[in-house]
Structure 1
Amino acid sequence: MAEVSQAGVSDDPDGGNAKFKKSSHVAFYRRQMQGPNLQHRALLDTLVLTEKGAHFELLESDKQTRLLLSLSPCKNDTVRILIDELQPIKARYRVPDVVTAEPQCEQLRVETRTKNSVTLSWPPGRHQVRVWHFPFQLEILCENEVIVTFNSKGKLWFEAIQEPPRVTSHGSEQQLQQDDTSLLWRETFKQFVDVKANGPSSIGADLCLHGFSHVYGLPEHADSLQLKDTRDGEPYRLYNLDVFGYELYSRLGLYGSVPLLVAHKPDRTLGVFWLNASETFVNIHYSLTDHQAHLAKRPRQQPLTDVHWLSESGVIDCMVLLGPSPQQLFSQYAQLTGYQALPPLFALGYHQCRWNYNDEADVKAVDAGFDHHNIPYDVIWLDIEHTDGKRYFTWDPVHFPEPENLQQHLEKKKRKLVVISDPHIKVDPNWSLYCEARDGGHFVKDREGQLYQGSCWPGKSSYLDFSSPATRAWYSRCFGLNKYKGSTPSLFVWNDMNEPSVFYGPEQTMPKDVVHYGGWEHREVHNLYGFHQHMATAEGLITRSGGSERPFVLTRSFFAGSQRLGAVWTGDNVATWEYLKISIPMLLSLSVTGIVFCGADVGGFAQDPGPELLVRWYQAAALQPFFRGHSAKTTKRREPWVFGEVVTAAIRTAIQQRYCLLPYWYTLFYQAHTCGLPPLRPLWVEFPKEQSTLSVDSQYMIGRALLACPVTEPGVQEVEVLLPGSDETWYDIHSAEAYKGGRTLSLPVTLDTLPVFQRAGSVVFRSTGSGSCTAELQRLPLTITVGLNSQGAADGDLYLDDGHSFNYRDRKAFCVRRFNMLSGRLLCRPASDEGTFACDTVIQSVIILGLKLKPSKVVVHVSGTKDTSAAFQYTGSCSMLTVRSLNLRVAQDWDLQII
């Protein structure tokens, strides 16, 4: 949350964004875009082959700058391109903690060598890399076809670190000499002056993606799923900022950054991962060119996408992920930066939040309201007002005098409490936590070596230096039950304002010349700041439990790798239809770049939604990974029952349906945790060869089985739904009616419904009821819905564990069951030999969609028992068979034979 204007979205006359830079305000961007292309040569005779790849020296002709190019092909079809100064006068920053382990490298061999180029290959021989002498280019080939060219446009840029210029003393202040060189060492924006300790040290490079005309990713921006050509305006900016009520369809950086671009065409998906945590801009140009295809008889027009990355500092560390399928790309990226943490089951339920619930009585009243109105939920949240004067790890002694009793009250119902913990610490010499952090050296410092102080919710604040491992360890210990008085094991955490947000700072964040652990300037680590707080918080909750319990931590600021730590939301949105609509491409962009546990504030954080908008937002968010209602203190109360019974009933239905579908959602998160597959998927992920899906960002797949098309317009009575796949069949989950794919369907809707379809060939698992929370849900039997394809087949997996501990990992206490239907026979079998989990979960009923003929009987066979007949009902109008009262254990092998 940011400072909220009482009058509306923003108190800024320029729409809230005048405090933020455009690219024209940024010196390194201007230098690179306006300066001449630098001419680099690859010195081919310097080639050295190593176990980790190959090294070349590069020479820039004008300034005779020598660079070292390291080229590493990895076993997971990833090519890493690393460029640094050959002999820097001091080390340049390299991003730590994001790449989980150094990728295993393949042994390169020289395939061909000429005076102009060297071609390298590695097993099994599908891919090659060709390095050209002059002008330097690096081509990545697959099946002898160039798919990526690095430095295609000659935009490689590397400003070598220099000795600082002379200084002269003017009074008590040291001033840089005002010549052309020294001006590069300081930069002014509004009243803020940024003094650069290492001078100008920006980097840049361009890549041409051959054959691609659709690229995605680069969150976080409030923009369409497919990235736009930037020749018509601003580049995409990656710089974590607190942008309250952010402008829609803007390329301004928001709360988090993932420098991963995903390109897709029908026969290949590839990624470009630019590992740099400093301020970064990305320009994208789409074009066509004549192309001589491999073995083609004549040239044809081929699309190209040119991607130009520009960063303020650091090294060039660029990884090209070669796919070729979307699923392989997701796996390649997860192997680099980590898989999605498997969340505790309660975290996938509904969360109720407000800035702020007034006191303990208010929290208990809201909790009771959910029970009274028969609406399930799992977590209630407290914002900054729950603390004693905005001091984190404390409680307001008047409004929250008995926090342990409050948590125990919720825990009796198996519900949880989440509280906020921000990175700024109130400057208070009488507060022991502040003194401990100060005396332990855990705060960042200004460029003069003094404690940096900024302003945030408590007023004058110091900011924790989460780039320091010692500070992260100290912060983690603060969550211990003996340290965090009033906390219990059912308390979980929300990291906010961690871009970091600094009121009245440059762009409402920390100055770039603030100094962190290791002497690095803030400019180097900016986009990592929230990631490192998230890391420390998650580790603190794990340590609190003795390593036995999974944490839940929500963060606003994030970076590549944040998926390993918890959940993310899209920040301070607004209660309008436009923000509901933009939330879908924003969440899809996060999902394709690994941040899969994501959501948007239901109803909009700022301003007041009307009843219809609120209902539609609940319906959409119930079909998205992270599901939380949240609103600012300036808004009217909007618990689900305050708008009258019609609205309450519609919201109740949406939330109950979410809970019923949680067995399916939990399985999808297991797949994300083990395979890197996002639960929320753009249509093209599941239908990669269909051109009609490539620009769709108003609907999406939930896993491979369900297609959702949320209603995002007011007063809608009919919606247009694209059903992909001319050879596919889709079943309306409400009516069970079957529709052929490869068409756009006009479907009537009411306030109570939104379109969701099950894909033929899939199996979906639901609970038979919603309960009051996920703990009750785990005790309920399941229903299986089987959607038959044209061959009468379907399959799907179900994952089960205890829902909260690390026993699934440490003791292999889990099971994955595969349900497969073919030739009229549904089988329940283990999906693999790994894992054992003693559970009593049963299948109560089976629904089979697309069964053309009424069966004469249904026979149940359970291993070791006598076959029995099952009662069934056949509805011929929609070809649906329902088999009830089965009571079949999920963990046991059994068959269901349709005769």
Structure 2
Amino acid sequence: GFQGMLTLASGTTHHFTKEIQQLKLQVFFETENRLRVKIVDARQSRFEVPITTPKVTNAATNLQYKVETRSDPFGFIVTRKDNGVVILNTTVGPLIYADQFIQLSSSLPTHDIYGLGERRGNALVSTNWNRLLFWARDQIPKDHANLYGDHPFYIGLENDGKAHGVFLLNSNAKEIELQPSPAVTWRTIGGILDFYVFLGPTPEAVVQQYTDVVGKPFMPPYWPLGFHLCRWGYGTSENTWNKVKEMRAAKIPQVNIEISFILCVEAYETLNAAVNIADVQWNDIDYMQQHLDFTYNHDKFNTLPNMVSDLHNNGQHYVMIIDPGISNNQPKGNYPAYDDGMELDVFIKDPTTMEPIVGVVWPGATVFPDYTHPSIGSYWEKQLLRYYELVKFDGVWIDMNEPSNFGTGSKSGCPNNTLENPPYVPHVTGGALQDRTLCSSAIHHSTTHYNVHSLTGLFEMKATSEALESIRKKRSFVISRSTFPSAGLYGGHWSGDITSTWEDLRKSIVSIINFNMFGIPMVGADICGFSGFTNEELCIRWMQLGAFYPFSRNHNMKAAKAQAPVDFSTSAQVPMRNALLKRYLLLPYLYTLFHSAHVNGTTVARGLFLEFPQDSNTRKIDEQFMWGSGLLISPALYQSASTVNAYFPAGFWYDCTTENLGKRINSNGQYETLQSELHGSIPLHIRGGNIIPAQYPDLNTKKSRKNPFLLLVAPDNTGKACGELYWDDGESLMTENPSITINFVLSGTSLTS
């Protein structure tokens, strides 16, 4: 690479105080397909995001890009070598670099931009003066709002089908504005400019190159691939346990699924299974004593330990919620989570008093662990271990970790300074940085909340994952509401407090697609919606779709009516269970996809535009998606629908539904009208050229794993197909985990492995 010095032109005024007089430009040719460009203050250090990224000492060769600079005005230009496409050209506008306002603009080679989250909207991001906001917030998902996570990474699909990606590694409050020329403007109010540019050339290659930087996703245990059930409002452990028992009693009627595609198996196979449809039971905050973390209510939830033992005895698992807010109003010596934190001095501090900053969350007055503190790991593990000795939980659900505060800043207010009232405030929801969170000038171990606010969820995930592995000596399972790049190393995400509407049903697919691009493939949405009132038709359709979320959980709030499958009519339960039966049948394939994500950084669920970038028809499609490259999922997403207008990219596609099993579509890139009756099957198609490993399902994932395997073989137009199965014990730490990978190849009538 190279570097150079930039000096502020004399007479330059941008109406921002403390403009940096001298900058250093650093350009790193890290790999042949990855470029890093940093612009930093040449004279003093500024905050940089403390995540681990690759340390490259030698410049790469055989570069697929060319970098040029211009001096008047300053800018850099990144060009794709093989065809001359300009990926970035920042000479289109001035670089502004002040202490609390940094802005850089660039031309874009395409209008087809994807990613940039967390947000609610379409997969294809509008470039029509579209301002996107980045500042983690406890916000019910809605359009044009900054939501729980901060992911300033996009993928651009160029006119010829090649793809590139751009990632700004910056955790301060930001705006990214897309303009119709097309162009992009990045604005941040702190930190530095630290760009990674990925040359692909395929979208999947871009995601792999991105995860080379932020880290490959964690390898989940096998059991979280099952179906999860939760509700805020069970109220007692007996109610929770009774729901578990109802789910066990509601066994699926014997469903015959004949599995055969042309050359699928030697002969037709028949699947008869009575399947319990809740593999993992969860509890929301109502299990706690007065909403205190690491406690349970010994009156209302007195049988909780017994219930968890019963789950384990039946091959099921248990997950409970933890919030970061720790009550500070308990008598001294009565609440170890607070007492231990005070002893270790691990709480975020009020900038005025230098005592722990106090906000208000579910238990009332609360203080907040500083997840950047060097002692946070031992503190957090101690609290989880103490609770584990009471209740043998299997995974942890971490919520409210933006961090959320029901007030503004703190109970005693925030100072009047430039961190609380910066010269420029991005157009964040609520209008102020401290709205529904902590004071921006709150003190962390080595910096201020202004810099690390959006990192809270990431670092809580890290502490929780590491504690779980230490306590249970098995792979961890953590689901977090707030995320930041690198979060996929430690756990998954659910899309928060969505509403029981057809619109949120449809938009949930975009969340699944986006978070897979962000390197967080263990992602799902609350099936049937979290808030509002679902109905039987909507919940059937949502259960059919949600059976194919990578993370499949039905959950809602206490003010809404119960919506577990057993809360609906017996006729409604049949299509719900049939969808889950298909999921369980395909779990070996899903598990193999997760292993590929863990090793290679590939997506598990992906939009059609990621798999077929050369097909321009796929670029706006976000109501279908794929598992890997082999399975196409085309859900019914509209009220009263009995058909789906589904797009099939060119090739052979084999129907995987019971009604039309093995029917082949030979597509030239066309739409097909598929039957999808409410009480029928969700349309599933296996792509020609794929061999998908499957397994006869049983009462839960533990029992399913003991059943025989089968292969779903879908030849392409040359009579060939291939596939892979990854298998291990489903729970051991990856460092001590014997495993096997089997590759399958079909050529003509010969199937080998």
Check conservation: 1:225, 1:585, Cα contact below 8 A: yes
Partner of 2:93: 154
For 1:216-615, what aligned pairs fall within 5 Å after superposition? 216-231=114-129, 235-244=131-140, 246-247=141-142, 250-265=143-158, 266-287=160-181, 305-374=182-251, 375-427=276-328, 428-430=330-332, 431-448=335-352, 449-480=354-385, 482=386, 484-488=388-392, 490-505=393-408, 506-518=434-446, 520-545=447-472, 548-615=473-540
Q: Normalising by structure 1, what TM-score? A: 0.74
Cα offsets for 1:286-345 (capped at 9, x unmatched): 33xxxxxxxxxxxxxxxxx31211111001111111111222212211111111101001
Check conservation: 1:801, 1:815, Cα contact below 8 A: yes
Code of the residue aligned with 1:709 in structure 2: it is S
CA distance in 1, matches of 2:340, 2:518: 38
Check conservation: 1:719, 1:749, Cα contact below 8 A: yes
Check conservation: 1:670, 1:799, Cα contact below 8 A: yes
Residue 105 (structure 1) shift: 4.5
CA distance in 2, matches of 1:139, 1:92: 25
Partner of 2:653: 730
Check conservation: 1:766, 1:784, Cα contact below 8 A: yes
Partner of 1:127: 65
Partner of 1:59: 7
Check conservation: 1:237, 1:282, Cα contact below 8 A: yes
Check conservation: 1:230, 1:283, Cα contact below 8 A: no
Residue 811 (structure 1) shift: 4.1
Q: Secondary structure at the match of 1:414?
A: coil
CA distance in 2, matches of 1:223, 1:657: 29
Residue 123 (structure 1) shift: 1.7
Q: Secondary structure at the match of 2:451?
A: helix
Is residue 96 of structure 2 the alignment partner of residue 96 of structure 1?
no
Code of the residue aligned with 1:424 in structure 2: it is G
Partner of 2:28: 72
CA distance in 2, matches of 1:392, 1:286: 48
1:756 to 684, 688, 694: 684
Partner of 1:628: 553
CA gap of 1:267–1:691, structure 2 versus 1, over 3 A, is: closer
Partner of 1:847: none
State which structure, 1 or 2, has the greater radius of gyration over its C-alpha atoms: 1
Partner of 2:41: 85
Q: Secondary structure at the match of 1:243?
A: coil
Unaligned runs of 5+ in 2: 13-19, 252-275, 409-433
Q: Secondary structure at the match of 1:507?
A: coil
Q: Secondary structure at the match of 2:117?
A: coil
CA distance in 1, matches of 2:249, 2:497: 30
Partner of 1:13: none
CA gap of 1:126–1:600, structure 2 versus 1, over 3 A, is: closer
Cα offsets for 1:456-495 (capped at 9, x unmatched): 0001111111121212331123222x5644132x432110
Code of the residue aligned with 2:283 in structure 1: it is L
Residue 402 (structure 1) shift: 4.3
Q: Which is further off, 215-224 or 586-595?
A: 586-595
Check conservation: 2:33, 2:63, Cα contact below 8 A: no
Q: Normalising by structure 2, what TM-score? A: 0.89
1:202 to 94, 97, 101: 101
Total equivalences in the alignment = 685
Check conservation: 2:73, 2:94, Cα contact below 8 A: no
Residue 150 (structure 1) shift: 4.2
Q: Secondary structure at the match of 1:508?
A: coil
CA distance in 2, matches of 1:230, 1:526: 29
CA distance in 1, matches of 2:125, 2:8: 32
CA gap of 1:126–1:767, structure 2 versus 1, over 3 A, is: closer
Cα offsets for 1:701-724 (capped at 9, x unmatched): 111111111111011122201111
Check conservation: 1:394, 1:485, Cα contact below 8 A: no
Q: Secondary structure at the match of 1:451?
A: coil
CA distance in 2, matches of 1:700, 1:624: 10
CA distance in 2, matches of 1:467, 1:125: 37
CA distance in 1, matches of 2:37, 2:381: 35
Check conservation: 1:69, 1:84, Cα contact below 8 A: yes
CA distance in 2, matches of 1:149, 1:642: 54
Residue 376 (structure 1) shift: 2.8
Q: Secondary structure at the match of 1:478?
A: helix
CA distance in 2, matches of 1:126, 1:484: 51
CA distance in 2, matches of 1:405, 1:524: 44
1:215 to 92, 104, 113: 113
CA distance in 1, matches of 2:211, 2:249: 43
Check conservation: 2:285, 2:321, Cα contact below 8 A: yes
CA gap of 1:408–1:275, structure 2 versus 1, over 3 A, is: same
CA distance in 1, matches of 2:524, 2:751: 35
CA distance in 1, matches of 2:582, 2:85: 48
CA distance in 2, matches of 1:614, 1:817: 38
CA gap of 1:399–1:313, structure 2 versus 1, over 3 A, is: same
Q: Which is further off, 416-425 or 127-136?
A: 127-136
Q: Secondary structure at the match of 1:130?
A: strand
CA distance in 2, matches of 1:710, 1:56: 53
For 1:772-791, what aligned pairs fall within 5 Å after superposition? 772-791=699-718
CA gap of 1:468–1:509, structure 2 versus 1, over 3 A, is: same
Is residue 743 of structure 2 the alignment partner of residue 805 of structure 1?
no
Q: Secondary structure at the match of 2:218?
A: coil
Check conservation: 2:40, 2:193, Cα contact below 8 A: yes
CA distance in 2, matches of 1:647, 1:527: 41
Code of the residue aligned with 1:380 in structure 2: it is Q
Code of the residue aligned with 1:333 in structure 2: it is Y
Check conservation: 1:402, 1:486, Cα contact below 8 A: no
Q: Secondary structure at the match of 1:309?
A: strand
CA distance in 2, matches of 1:823, 1:635: 55
CA distance in 2, matches of 1:416, 1:440: 33
CA distance in 2, matches of 1:743, 1:217: 26
Q: Secondary structure at the match of 2:435?
A: helix
Residue 360 (structure 1) shift: 2.1
Cα offsets for 1:544-590 (capped at 9, x unmatched): 13xx3100011000000111111100000111111101111122111
Check conservation: 1:472, 1:532, Cα contact below 8 A: no
Cα offsets for 1:672-726 (capped at 9, x unmatched): 111111111111222121110111111111111111111110111222011112x
Check conservation: 2:295, 2:387, Cα contact below 8 A: no
